[in-house]
Amino acid sequence: MEYREKLIHGRLIRRYKRFLADVKLDDGRTVTAHCTNSGSMKSCLEEDAEVYLTPVDDPKRRTKFTWEMIRINDGWVGINTGVPNKLAYEALVSNSIFSLRGYTTVRREVKFGNSRIDLFAENDREKCFIEVKNVTLKEGRFARFPDARTERGLKHLNELMEIRRQGMRAVMLYVVQRTDVEIFGPAWDIDPAYSKTLLQAFENGVEVIPVMAHVSPEKIEFGRVLPFDLGK
């Protein structure tokens, strides 16, 4: 995924009210940017860290910038939660994730039960539902999800298990938007209910695919699939 226009560089002053961040731009202005990430953003918040924003030309929007990434541990961490779905869609269409190749139809936001699953793919052999989550939390060498309790995420896991029971392929795709980690696992200490259900879903045939994303101010692209450990 390439950015259509040049991003705007600044430094983080603070993030507050979950969806707002004050940033000092290189020209000296202080602006307020929209933060799409509703989680705690634990391990990817640092005062005065470099950040990049996209400008937004929408008269209906109060904030004229969207926060895209922050520099942590000498690398960029993507915090825009809208990016993983775009990356995943592009990857399925271009057959760039080995374990998710070979689909002739790919659609977004397909309803199943009481939820909308992020992606639906099919070919003449199978149907596959894929739920996508953004991962930014780092604990040691682990990337972990979630960074705050998520009832919505729990609901999606239950829907994926039902999809699998009905004989279709069900995939939980975690997009890790940082490269300073080696392995993926659930955040048991933050959301034990989600973590327990993820383990249950995996044991019942839901596939877990954590993919590392390489984040830069020019583009974001998928890298390698990470190993995972779903235990405590």
pLDDT in tens, 156-183: 999 999 999 999 999 999 999 999 999 9
**Average pLDDT for residues 27-34, to the nearest whole number?**
97
**Average pLDDT for residues 104-109, to the nearest whole number?**
95
Task: Name the residue with tokens 């397909």.
Answer: 110
Helix, strand, coil content of the chain in percent (nearest 5)? 20, 45, 40
Numbered ranges of CATH 2.40.50.580 in the chain: 8-73
pLDDT of residue 96: 86
**Average pLDDT for residues 130-150, to the nearest whole number?**
97
Percentage of residues in the chain having pLDDT higher than 90: 92
Rounded to 5 degrees, what are φ and ψ at 41?
60, 30
Q: Residue 152's pLDDT band (boundaries 50, 70, 90)?
A: very high
pLDDT of residue 123: 95
> Is the bond preceding 192 in cis, omega lying within 30 degrees of 0?
no
pLDDT tens digits for range 38-80: 999 999 999 999 999 999 988 888 899 999 999 999 999 999 9
CATH number, span 8-73: 2.40.50.580
CA 232 to chain centre: 22
Numbered ranges of CATH 3.40.1350.60 in the chain: 83-225
The secondary element (H helix, E strand) that includes residue 90 is: helix 83-94
The yes-or-no verdict on residue 107 having pLDDT over 90 is yes
At 108, the amino acid letter reads R
Task: Say how far apart CA 105 and CA 98 lie, in whole Å.
Answer: 16
Domain 83-225 architecture:
3-Layer(aba) Sandwich (3.40)
pLDDT of residue 60: 85
In the chain, where do the E strands start and end? 8-16, 20-25, 30-34, 50-55, 65-72, 75-78, 105-112, 115-122, 127-135, 137-139, 142-145, 169-176, 183-186, 207-215, 220-225
Closest CA to 138 of 46, 222, 67, 208: 46
Task: Say how far apart CA 36 and CA 138 lie, in whole Å.
Answer: 19
Q: What's the whole-model pTM score?
A: 0.95
pLDDT of residue 24: 98
